Structures are given as C-alpha cells and as structure tokens.
Amino acid sequence: MTDVLDELRWRGLIAQTTDIDALRKALEDGPITYYCGFDPTAPSLHHGHLVQLVLLRHLQLAGHRPIALVGGATGLIGDPRMSGERVLNDRATVAEWVERLRVQIERFLSFEGDNAALMVNNLDWHGGLSALDFLRDVGKHYRLGTMLAKDTVARRLASDEGISFTEFSYQILQGMDFLELHRRHGVTLQTGGNDQWGNLLSGVELARKSDGLALHALTTPLITKADGTKFGKSEGGAVWLAPDMMTPYAFYQFWLNAADEDVIGWLRTFTFRTREQIAELEAAVAERPAAREAQRALALDVTTLVHGEREAQQAIAASQALFGRGDLAELDDATLAAAVSGLPSVAARVGDAVVDVLAATDVFRGKSDARRAVAEGGVYVNNVKVTSDEALLSADDVLAGRFVLLRRGKKTLVVAELAD
C-alpha cells in the first residue's frame, strides 16, 4: 500500500507542511482527525474548493476521520483579499449560503463507519464569545509583528485602501477554529489551499502557545494551467460546483476541453483513477491525441464526483446528440437548454421555411446558399437530414418547448429559438 503522503504528493496535492516527517508518523500511527474550512462568501464552492474536497476524501479513504467546517462565523467577516475590502453580507444571506455549501460538501464524504465524517459550523463557538474573553483568552497569544508580516495584510497596508480591523482579525478566528476543534474532537491536522498557509499557521501557533500542542498543517498548490494562466472558464473565472451557477453540461464541457498539456495533471489531482489507469491515458494522449480519451475520462469522473452519475451521463448524451450521435429527444429539458445555450441562435416560428431560418443565420450567405446546402445533403434539423428546400419547421421539431437544432455538415450548429 502506497504511503498516503507519497500518494498525495504524486497527485500534486501537497505544497507545504509544518513538519512532513512528524505528519507522516502521525498518519502511520493514526487514524487521525483532520479538518478543512469552507467560508460561505458565495452561494457555491468552486474549483479551488474541489481540490480540498478531493484531499479530504483521499485521507478518509486511507482510514482517517474528516471534519468539514462551514464558516458561519468567518463567513460574516471574510478572509482578506489582495484587492480590497469585501462587502459584508447580511446574516440571513450567510446562513442560506452555509446550508448550500453543506449540501455540496456532503456528497464527497462518508458519514458512516469508524471514521465517519462530521460537519460543523464555527458560529457554534464564535457566536457566544464576548469581546473581553476574546481579548483576554485569545488575543494575548498573538503578536502584531507576526500578524502584520502576513503577505495579504502587508500588501493591503501598503495600498491606498488599507485594511480594516475586521478583516485583520480574520486570521485569529481561523486560528481559534483549529484549537477549538482539537479540544472538541481531537483534530491534529488542518488542510487548505496554499494561499491559506498563514491562516493555518495561526492555528498551529495558537495551539502551541495556549495548550502546548504540536499540531500539523498541510496546503495544496494553487491550480493553474500549463501556460501559467488562471484555472477557470476565462482568466480569473470560477468553475462553480452548484448546478444553478454552472450547469452540469457546462461543467462537463469545461473538463472535456482540457488541453493535452493539462489533462494528465488534472487527472491526478481531481480524480481517483489509479496510477496504472492514468499512465494508460497519458500514453493515449501521446499516441492518439485526437481521440481525447484522457479528456473524456477526466470530464466523466469529475462530473460524476460533483453532480452524480445521472447528470454526467446526460452531459455525455447531450455532447453526442448535438453532433448526430444520439437522440436529442431523450435529453431532459434542463440539459438540452444548457447544451444549446452557447450556440449561435436565430428567432423562428412553427411553419417557417427551413431555408428561410437558415438564411437568417451567419452560417449561410443567403437563401440560395441554404438551398444549395440542402440539395447537397448537408443540412439537418434535429439530426434528421433535410431533403427538400421547401421543408417547414413543424411542431414535432420543437424540443423542450422552444428549441430546434440546425446543423450544417458535421460540426456547424445553430439553434432556432421559437417565439412565444
């Protein structure tokens, strides 16, 4: 059995640790209890959180006990950003987002067995803490020099906007979480993204000064593309895990469109495929890049992990059906709407001549070009070849109550949207 830390390192899931040898021994002597925190500063988790969820799952599969903390208290404050103060969300909004995040996190962990996962909310202990107790029992263990040296704090202090005491205090709250979870549940390891290193060390130092403990911290690298650009739909864009913020189809397409230079690293980081399976896919990328076997495996695994097998299969079916390799009518309305949302569109009505609809798109240079394409057998309505230039759109052609898919050749797609 591969040592779990070696496995995590091979998968690109380790950036920094407090003491790798001490942590390795603790894991070997375990099981240990470990945690990661997720702040509800948005109504959904995203790709950066996905790295942490995968890490939590790997450690649980290795026999250790995970605790997922949703920050009902820290979410009211917000971790300081490089770019300026966050807008503070009201308590009702944060409480709603706490519940949304809990649902997203639950599918990644097992809540049964000897190492059953636990979900906690740090509002349970921060909510009743008085200012005097905070200053006397916690504040006395923090030195301003150390807090001011934190990279984000230092940059914000040097900016025109500066930093509020509210956001400056965030690192103390996160440090308190680590100590509190050790006292309540025996937590000895905190994980997080590499940009959280200073906050993780805050908890390690507080536990050492307050209770004489030697706790552990482990961070994961920030994920970027092979060309150095940010990971997301666009520069700085987020790949959301909530289906109402990024549809399962769009989510699947993001992973399916991974570059050859990125796909093997992402298979290691975001999936649970074995080394042997990933080696086979790496060979396929080198030998048969056009087949995109690795990308299809990545998209299937990650979409299944986040949204479930049914949604993953619907996304695959939609991808195939758009290009004539499946039945569009078998797709559910939501998946079809997501699949056509990124296509060029044209307004139409039942009874319109197909060539008139085609001529209104940018795909054809007028009605004569559309007629010529029909005569050559290169036009399809919902993947059915159009055989006459007098064909009309019928009510039977309408999908999901409002769409008709038009295709020229193998790859050029347009969606006709029917007016109400």
Binding site for L-tyrosine: what residues are annotated? 35, 170, 174
Rounded to 10°, the helix 293-307/248-256 angle is 150
| Cis-peptide, bond into residue 66, ω within 30° of zero | no
Q: Which residue has the tokens 């666009």?
A: 234
Cα separation, 334 vs 246, in Å, equals 12
Positive or negative: CA dihedral 371, 376, 377, 380: negative
CB-neighbour burial class of residue 343 (10 A; exposed 0-12, middle 13-18, buried 19+): middle
Contact 189, 217 (CB under 8 A): yes
Q: Give the annotated binding-site residues.
A: 35, 170, 174, 233
End-to-end CA distance of the chain: 61
Contact 190, 203 (CB under 8 A): yes
Mention every residue, 6+ apart, whose C-beta is less than 8 A from residue 369: 359
CA 175, 180, 184 angle in degrees (round to 5)?
A: 155
Q: Give the annotated binding-site residues for ATP.
A: 233
Cα separation, 294 vs 316, in Å, equals 14
Cα separation, 206 vs 198, in Å, equals 12
Residue 123 burial (CB count, 10 A):
19
Q: Which residue has the tokens 């998968």?
A: 11
